[in-house]
Structure 1
Amino acid sequence: MIRNPWRRTEPLDDAELARLLPAPADPQLAVHRQDLIEEFLMNEIHRSDGAAPAASPARRPLRRAVLIAAPVAGALTLALVVTLGGSPGTTTVAAPALVRAPVVQIEEGSTVRLASTVREIAAAATASPTPQPGPGQYIYIRSRVSFAASSQNADTGKSASWVQPLHDREVWKSPDGTKGWLDEPGYQAKGGVTLDNDEPLDRQTYKWLAAQPADPDALLRLAYSTVSGTRDRDQQAFREIGSVIREQLVPPALAAALYEAAGRIPGVVVVDHAQDASGRDGIALARLDPQTGERSEWIFDRESHQYLGSRGVQVREVNGIKPGTVVERTAIVTRAVVDVRNQRPGAGRATA
């Protein structure tokens, strides 16, 4: 998985780790939050002055290019100091201060128009002109993103939900996944960090996706083959498909089949109004995680049915996160193919 190369700045002893982790009786965290908590705790420095926590960098998976919300920290208000590893000579950066998480009115989802909506989204994906990367080229994705971190004051019992300010995130990926670069100013070392791998990745690269059958049944079986543990299997399958479409270039026929597969997962609904990180209002395919209380929404333009971005909304209070809290927002700005790493569409060859 693509993980930002965090390095601990101060070790945490066993007692502090035990205090920060959720109690065994707490509702079980989703897999993406448990993964993130591991890295979040390794970078936290405790303070008790009651100030808002510094920004919590979002962890990025290598196999799943999904944009993940930060976990609830069951402790006093926290501050975070992060040293980010990148190429030799990169500079340590401090992430921007968090702001209050937005709260929205929760709109009920429905299955009444699910089948027709999925057909419209699949048809739009099939008809969408999508560039094909050639040898030596890179897939370029630019997004606007914001992720959340919550904290609780153990003395007062009060909790608050915070989010990163909306910011740009740019990713370059080779078709086989062996080469790449991530630039997320304020959340990565200055200039960005490498995503290079010694071996080709076995899943979710463009090359791997292009070899998959555009068959919804086969893709649904493939999504379910990745689930593990005791967490909700249907939610894991839904997130697996979501992780493919969010930060990758997907061949049109395969994208259509993925949407059709997602529409067959129990619990998937249509939400008539959802806004992406750029404030664009669209229609969403969504599913509520019964264990975390968070509803994952994939947002599409209501006219063209093109994918706009994603949103995570807390529907049921869990771990102190209030209903209506937006725990993640993303918006796709640009998807393109470029000739070299660090080159932007319409620009000359990169020099970085």
Structure 2
Amino acid sequence: MNDNDIPSTPARRTDADEIARLLPAPGRWDLPHEQHLHHKELLMQRIDRDQTSEGHQASRRHDQASRPPRRLLRPAVLLPVTAVALSGILAAGIALTAPDGKPATRATDTVRPATALLNQISAAALKGDALPVRDDQFTYTRAKSREADITSGKAVVGPLKDRETWWSQKQGPLHKLGLAKADGETLPINAELGDTDGTPAGINRPTYRWLAALPTDPDKLLTYLYAKTPKVDEQERDQAVFDRIGDLVGEVMPPETAAALYRAAAALPGVTEAPKAHDAIGRHGVGIAREDTTYGTRTEWIFDRQDLTFLGSRSYLTKDTSYGKSGTLLSSNAVIEHAVVDKAGAEPTDPPRTTARSQES
């Protein structure tokens, strides 16, 4: 008789059997993808801490120092697991993998605050009213903004300006994309630099039809944005995508697209809450932010505290640079109104869909 012929007995029970006995039956509740990864990372951290504790710490120090950085995506459970790690798992309610491959949990461990807030913003956006837009019309946005001029090598912040834009919704490449009006001066919006045949609808000219065609699955949408977002010098790739999402959510778009963009942003690394965020006209709200540690800049999105509608954004330096000291404003804007009109330069006739609330101190 060999080992394979020996029946399983309590004396020969493996660590895996012991864990299976102690763990409750796996649940069947699905978690959002980012929450599942969050739980999985917590589990890996607990296992690593247990492996390096007390009696094993000295003997394993050299191996850990030479081990390559651990990736986030790892198996849900590593066996064997000691009783200390197991008790930590049970106490925290960490998500494990059920037999059908779906994540399961037995507790209410929460996701990071920024993810929870973006999920709420996404749900609110999904309830918004859709503005019907024809290809022969223009989307209209009225805003107030301030920008820093860096042509001198220093960031010189300009005054607050009124700005109106009309974006053509025509399909196909265009040489004239619309109109922009700032402080009474009206200028054409021309094709992107290098688009000799005109700029087509896309990430650099987000028409309503193009936005409506974007995938609404957050993972697929994020993959698409990473592929299409232009690279900017040495800017962090995650920051470039975050900033591009911020540009898009300030446009007129279907509620389903807005909701998907916010959920895609929730999966970006480094995204945090910004509790003191305010827009260009001083409206304070709940904020979402991300810092580019390479450039030393921070971008914030501001949302109304009551209905979570998008109010505007701002960016500023987070460290001293040749352009200015930490805290120097780079840009700030406040969305006042969105509408759809039949002609570039025409003022909306219907009541505004987005109206500035009174300024808060």
- TM-score tier, shorter chain, comes to 0.5 to 0.7
Map of 2:115 onto structure 1:
115
Would the aligned equivalents of 2:235 and 2:295 in 1 still touch at CA under 8 Å? no
Partner of 1:274, secondary structure, is coil
Give 1:175 deviation, angstroms.
Answer: 2.0
**Mapped pair 1:132 → 2:132:** yes
Matched, 1:284 2:284: no
5+ long unaligned stretches in structure 2: 1-110, 192-196, 351-361
Mark the CA change 1:192 to 1:149 in structure 2 (over 3 Å): closer, same or farther.
Answer: closer
Is the contact between residue 283 and residue 299 of structure 1 (CA under 8 Å) also seen in structure 2? yes
Kindly state the Cα deviation for residue 294 of structure 1 after the two structures are TM-superposed: 0.9
Instruction: Output the CA distance in 2 between the equivalents of 1:302 and 1:325.
Output: 26
Q: Distance in 1 between matches of 2:136 and 2:149?
A: 38
Residue aligned with 1:207, SS: helix
* Structure with larger RCO (C-alpha < 8 A, sep 6+): 1
Q: C-alpha displacement at 1:161, in angstroms?
A: 4.2
1:175 is matched with 169
Matches within 5 A, 1:11-26: none
| Aligned counterpart, 2:320 | 317
Q: Residues 227 and 265 (structure 1 numbering): CA distance in 2 closer, same or farther, change over 3 Å?
A: farther
Query: What is the CA–CA distance in structure 2 between the aligned matches of 1:306 and 1:213, rounded to whole Å?
Result: 22
- CA drift of 1:200 comes to 3.3
CA contact (8 A) 1:297 1:311 kept: yes
CA 1:192 to 1:118, structure 2 compared with 1: closer, same or farther past 3 Å? same
Q: How far is the alpha carbon of 1:331 from its aligned partner?
A: 0.5
Q: State the shift of 1:130 in Å.
A: 2.8
**In the alignment, is the contact (CA less than 8 A) between 1:122 and 1:257 conserved in 2?**
yes
Decide whether aligned partners of structure 1 residues 238 and 185 sit closer, same or farther in structure 2, where only a CA change above 3 A counts. same
State the alpha-carbon separation in 1 of the partners of residues 154 and 199 from structure 2: 42
Matching residue of 1:192: 187
Could you tell me which of 233, 236, 247 is aligned with 1:232? 236
Q: In structure 2, what is the equivalent of residue 145 of structure 1? A: 145
Q: Tell me, in whole angstroms, the C-alpha distance in 1 between the residues paired with 2:151 and 2:215.
A: 44
CA distance in 2, matches of 1:245, 1:326: 21
Distance (Å, rounded) in 2 between the aligned partners of 1:215 and 1:121: 16
Give the C-alpha shift of residue 199 in structure 1: 5.6
Q: Give 1 or 2 for the bigger CA radius of gyration.
A: 2
Mapped to 1, the partners of 2:342 and 2:180 lie a distance apart of 16
- Counterpart residue identity of residue 252, structure 1: P
Q: Which amino acid aligns with 1:292?
A: Y
TM-score by length of 1: 0.60
Structure 1 unmatched runs, 5+? 1-110, 153-158, 348-352
Partner of 2:159: 165
Using the TM superposition, give the Cα deviation of residue 305 of structure 1 relative to its aligned residue in structure 2, in angstroms.
0.6
How far does the alpha carbon of each residue in 1:223-274 deviate from its partner, in whole angstroms, 9 at most, with x for none? 111354653111111122122122x212101101101101110001011111
Q: Within 5 A, what are the aligned runs for 1:19-168?
A: 112-150=112-150, 161-168=155-162
In structure 2, C-alpha distance between the alignment counterparts of 1:123 and 1:212, rounded to whole Å: 18
Which shifted more, 322-331 or 159-168? Answer: 159-168
- One-letter amino acid of the counterpart of residue 206, structure 1: Y
* Whole-angstrom distance in 1 between the partners of 2:209 and 2:331: 28
Distance in 1, matches of 2:322 and 2:287, equals 25
Asked whether the equivalents of residues 341 and 348 of structure 2 are also in contact (C-alpha less than 8 Å), the reply is: yes
Q: Distance in 2 between matches of 1:336 and 1:344?
A: 9
Structure-1 residue corresponding to 2:267? 264
Alignment-derived partner of residue 338 in structure 2? 335
Moved over 6 A (4+): none
Task: Provide the rounded CA distance (Å) in 2 between the counterparts of 1:191 and 1:205.
Answer: 21
**Paired residue for 2:347?**
344
Tell me, in whole angstroms, the C-alpha distance in 2 between the residues paired with 1:141 and 1:250: 12
Residues 227, 173 of structure 1: CA spacing in aligned structure 2 closer, same or farther, 3 A cutoff? closer
Q: Which residue in 2 is equivalent to 1:216?
A: 218
Contact conserved, 2:287 with 2:300, CA < 8 A, in 1?
A: yes
Task: State the AA in 2 paired with 1:311.
Answer: R
SS in 2 for 1:311: strand
Could you give the per-residue CA deviations for residues 50-95 of structure 1, whole angstroms, max 9, x where no partner exists?
Answer: xxxxxxxxxxxxxxxxxxxxxxxxxxxxxxxxxxxxxxxxxxxxxx
Residues 24-65 of structure 1: CA deviation (Å, up to 9, x unaligned) = xxxxxxxxxxxxxxxxxxxxxxxxxxxxxxxxxxxxxxxxxx
**Against the structure 1 CA distance between its residues 293 and 281, is the aligned structure 2 distance closer, same or farther, given a 3 Å change threshold?**
same
- Aligned partner letter, 2:327: G
235, 253, 258: which one aligns with 2:256: 253
Corresponding residue of 2:207 = 205
How much does 1:213 deviate? 1.7
For the aligned residue pairs, the C-alpha RMSD in angstroms reads 2.3
For these two proteins, the number of residue pairs brought into alignment is 227
Report the residue type matching 1:283 in the other structure.
Answer: V
Match of 2:35 in 1: none
The CA distance in 2 between the partners of 1:184 and 1:340, in whole Å, is 18
CA contact (8 A) 1:123 1:256 kept: yes
Conserved 8 A contact 2:297-2:316: yes
- Provide the secondary structure at the position in 2 that maps to 1:141: strand
What secondary structure sits across from 2:242 in the alignment?
A: helix
Bigger strand share: 1
Does the 8 A contact of 1:213 with 1:219 survive in 2? yes
User: Aligned equivalents of 1:151 and 1:252: distance in 2?
Assistant: 38
